[in-house]
Amino acid sequence: MTAVHRWCLVALGVLALVVAPVAVSAWPAADSDESATSLAARVRASGEVAYSGYVESVGGLGLPTTDEFSEVADLFGTTNRLRVWWRSSEDWRVDRLATAGETDLFHADGATTTWDFERLAVGRTADQLVFLPRTVDLLPSQLGRRVLAQARPGELTRLPAERVAGHDALGLRLTPSAGQASIDHVDIWVHDDSGLPVRVEIWGAGDSAPALATAFDELTVAEPAAEVTTFRTPAGVTVGSSGVDDDSLVGHIPTVFWSGSLAGLPRVLEDRLAPVGRYGRGVTQLVVLALDDEVADPLRDQLGSTAGAVVDRAGTALSAGPLHLLLSPCRGNAPSWLLVGTVDEQTLRRAARTVYGNGARWSVAAGPGSGSGP
């Protein structure tokens, strides 16, 4: 064999190594005749499937940035690279990778520990205090289950199978039936063997690209080692509180909500002490939250200066894809009301008129540790 032939073989070998992952992804996916309702049921039952891998999420929601909401804006308005080890719903770890370092979430014993490598900061937050989205909520496995939690059979149809992260993935589409919905459809691809959602795309009406897309690009369906999800506090680092809780965000908590519906949307939460009022079903939901001035004032300023914001008598409104926000005007000592939802603008404003106009029907108590009354 001549030198030329040898170098040709080397070049072909290198080419094979480079092309192999692409070829695996492009390989035709094996499909099945499983019904949409059966596939959705397998997704709902996949919460304890163990796995590990890498995820990339791409968000197109231009949300305003404030001290309290900066992480939410980053999650849904930028590209995020995540690494995950999932042993169970009570034992998992999700790392958010960035050029400057990483921020890791460890979940165990009913609490989430946050490790900020760049700041050398550790915090721990009890689960019941966390209600803003976190990196774990961007996982297609988590998002897919949440999207399908209340889906009705008539809202589900099958899509062609595709290859995702080298695995056969069966396609499923959810098209909300609620007339108030601002989400047009959600497409989900499901790992055939385990029922694990591996890619999710959320589309608003008329969108040319998903408002949010998240997918595995590496996936191993097997239980990770226990030590990888176990957090050990580095020497010299003190554990404090972290995340957004009632003390830092909600100065006044509504403790009584309408027992029926709001703007035609049924109530979701029946807990009278819940820090939010949630209405709707499935992917068509509206959240009502009371904020004190310390949080509401900078948020109102930031919303008002964001491109596309509308300021009128109803408050400050902003649309980001299928997500709509409305913050009430400042009204003396009364709390400000923030309404956020995947509902159309008409529904949002109808709800705001009800909330603002019937303040006497809301019992507002001081936030834990706030030291102030209603």
pLDDT for res 130: 46
pLDDT for res 186: 96
Q: How many CA atoms lie within 13 A of 207 on its CB side?
A: 22
The amino acid present at 182, given as its one-letter code, is S
pTM: 0.81
Query: Which residues are CB-contacts of 173 (< 8 A; sequence separation ≥ 6)?
Result: 36, 156, 157, 158, 159, 185, 186, 187, 188
CB 106 within 8 A of CB 93: yes
CA dihedral (35, 138, 325, 330) positive or negative: positive
CATH no., domain 246-366: 3.40.1000
The amino acid present at 187, given as its one-letter code, is D
pLDDT over threshold 70, residue 85: yes
pLDDT for res 65: 54
Q: Which two tokens stand for residue 188?
A: 């989900």
C-alpha span between 136 and 116 (Å, rounded): 15
- At 274, the pLDDT band (50, 70, 90 cuts) reads low
pLDDT over threshold 80, residue 257: no
C-alpha span between 107 and 6 (Å, rounded): 53
CB 115 within 8 A of CB 104: yes
Burial class of 221 by CB neighbour count within 10 A (0 to 12, 13 to 18, 19+): middle
Q: Give pLDDT tens digits for 339-358.
A: 989 999 999 999 998 888 75
The topology under which CATH files domain 36-241 is: outer membrane lipoprotein receptor (LolB), chain A (2.50.20)
CB 327 within 8 A of CB 340: no
Residue ranges per structural domain of the chain: 36-241, 246-366
Only one residue has tokens 């923030």, namely 338
Alpha helices in the chain (DSSP H): 3-26, 36-44, 70-77, 140-148, 246-249, 293-304, 345-357
More confident site: 297 or 62: 297
Please state which of the ranges 211-215, 312-316, 358-362 shows the lowest mean pLDDT.
Answer: 358-362
C-alpha span between 242 and 115 (Å, rounded): 10
C-alpha span between 114 and 239 (Å, rounded): 9
